[in-house]
Amino acid sequence: MTKVIHEAELAEIKDLGENSASFVIKPLYYGYGNTLGNSLRRVLLSSIKGAAITAFRIDGTTHEFTAIPGIAEDVVDIMLNLKNIHIKSHSDAPIELHLEKKGTGVVLAGDIKLSAEVEIANPQQIICNIDNPKFTLKMDLVVDTGRGYLSIEQSGDDRVHSDMIAIDALFTPVLRVRYKAENTRVGQDTNLQQLTLTIDTDGTLTPKEAFEEASAILVNQYQALAGGTTVESAPAPTTTKTEDESGLMMPVEEMGLSARSANALINNEIRTVRDLVMLSETDLKELKGFGTKALDEVREKLTELKV
């Protein structure tokens, strides 16, 4: 029995693909699989910092509702293709890029002339197709960073150049998040949970980077709300050794405690070393018939047993 919520551990990271990974978190206090899984999922999908194209300009066009002689797609189609380019920016300020290509053929994201502060994760993304051998496509692009979603109205208000066409942008580099909460056990304790969180990204950052940023965001938010209040936590139950190998299943009667201390533990339903180490010193002090002298004795014996 414990009166504290023990700390969880990131037990395993499974790589599922180039931009996909699963994170196994266990053991969790009962019910915390859904508590942590839902909060992490919401933050991952809405709050991870990313970059996107927020405005563009094509020579010979003044608005998006037009066709361009020499290009198979109209401006609306080009706009949709630009939104599918996965960009990583190392600057918080807007960055202007340029693209120029002449002659028939496919225009790809990899044709954009990049600065040292910008990377493209999917250079094979199609922007448009030139169908006139004499046509030269000249395009200017603005890349900006942010979190969440930027509407086309907001993008239009914040344009670097008023003659550019604004694009609504989804900055998040996380494409998909799934989680599964399952019951698990550690030794004889079956009232625990395990959380498996699967993250897919667009390649501009790794799933591990996204996972750690989401966790840090939650820590910062809750820490600001907690004020000076702290909650005592117990170390996560370990599964690196069997209970017998680590001595955790030893009855308290065999620890070499005085009869008074041993009886006080047994009367409070603490029957093994494992039951004992799951309690904090604060929990022990609150036990009926268990005083400071008994606490010092238990602390000494646990040190001798190295548990």
Instruction: Provide the pLDDT for residue 306.
Output: 67
Instruction: Report whether pLDDT(229) > 50.
Output: yes
pLDDT of residue 263: 85
CATH number of the domain residue 286 falls in: 1.10.150.20
**Residues spanned by the domain of 276:** 245-302
Looking at the structure, do residues 281 and 204 belong to the same domain, yes or no? no
143 and 65, same structural domain? yes
| Residue 257 domain flag | yes
> What pLDDT was estimated at residue 191?
78
75 belongs to a structural domain = yes
In a shared domain, residues 99 and 134: yes
pLDDT at 88: 96
* pLDDT for res 111: 96
Among 124, 153, 170, which residue terminates a domain? 170
If asked whether residues 274 and 289 sit together in one domain, one would say yes
The proportion of the chain whose per-residue pLDDT surpasses 90, expressed as a percent, equals 52
Read off the pLDDT of residues 169-212 as tens digits, 9 standing for 90 and up: 999 999 999 999 988 877 666 678 899 999 999 999 999 999 99
- The answer to whether residue 235 sits within a structural domain is no
43 lies in the same domain as 55: no
Q: How far apart are CA 259 and CA 265, in angstroms?
A: 10
Domain end among 170, 187, 206: 170
Please report how many Cα atoms fall inside a 13 Å half-sphere around the Cα of residue 137, on the Cβ side: 31
> Quick one: pLDDT at residue 1?
41
Residue pLDDT, tens place only, 60-95? 887 778 888 899 999 999 999 999 999 999 999 999
Whether 1 is covered by a domain: the verdict is no
| 146 and 204, same domain (yes or no) | no
pTM across the whole model: 0.72
Residue with tokens 């405005």: 55
Amino acid at site 47: S
- Six token digits for residue 283: 């929990």
Task: Write down the pLDDT at residue 243.
Answer: 47
Residues 97 and 148 in one domain: yes
Q: Which of 230-239, 261-270, 298-307 has the highest mean pLDDT?
A: 261-270
Top-confidence residue, 293 or 248: 293
Same domain, 77 and 216: no
Residue 148 in any domain: the answer is yes
What burial class does residue 301 get, using C-beta atoms within 10 Å of its C-beta: 0-12 exposed, 13-18 middle, 19+ buried?
A: middle
- How far apart CA 195 and CA 180 sit, in angstroms, is 6
- 31 and 106 in a single domain? The answer is no
Specify if 238 maps to a domain.
no
Say yes or no: 108 and 143 in one domain: yes
CATH classification at residue 130: 2.170.120.12
The answer to the question of residue 38 being in a domain is: yes
Which residue, of 226, 261, 292, is where some domain finishes?
226
Q: Beta-carbon neighbour count of residue 296 at 10 Å?
A: 11
The b/e string for 150-165 (b: 16+ C-beta within 10 A; e otherwise) is beeeebbeeeeeeebb
Q: Which residue has the higher pLDDT, 282 or 222?
A: 222
Q: State pLDDT tens for residues 201-216.
A: 999 999 999 999 999 9
Task: Count structural domains, the chain.
Answer: 3
Q: Same domain for 164 and 185?
A: no
**What pLDDT sits at residue 3?**
55
pLDDT at 266 over 80: yes
Q: Which two tokens stand for residue 131?
A: 């169908």
The enclosing domain of 15 has a CATH number of 3.30.1360.10
Instruction: Give the pLDDT of residue 228.
Output: 80
Q: Has residue 4 been placed in a domain?
A: no
Q: Give tens-digit pLDDT for 90-146.
A: 999 999 999 999 999 999 999 999 999 999 999 999 999 999 999 999 999 999 999
pLDDT digits (tens, 9 = 90+) for 253-262: 888 888 888 8
Q: Which residue has the higher pLDDT, 273 or 217?
A: 217
271, 285: one domain: yes
3-state secondary structure the chain: CCCCCCCCEEEEEEEEECCEEEEEEEEEECCHHHHHHHHHHHHHHHCCCEEEEEEEEECCCCCCCCCCCCECCCHHHHHHHHHCCCEEECCCCCEEEEEEEECCEEEEHHHCECCCCEEECCCCCEEEEECCCCCEEEEEEEEEEECCEECHHHHHHCCCCCCCEECCEECCCEEEEEEEEEEEEECCEEEEEEEEEEEEECCCCCHHHHHHHHHHHHHHHHHHHHCCCCCCCCCCCCCCCCHHHHCCCCEHHHCCCCHHHHHHHHHCCCCEHHHHHCCCHHHHHCCCCCCHHHHHHHHHHHHHHCC
Closest CA relative to residue 171, chosen from 153, 151, 200:
151
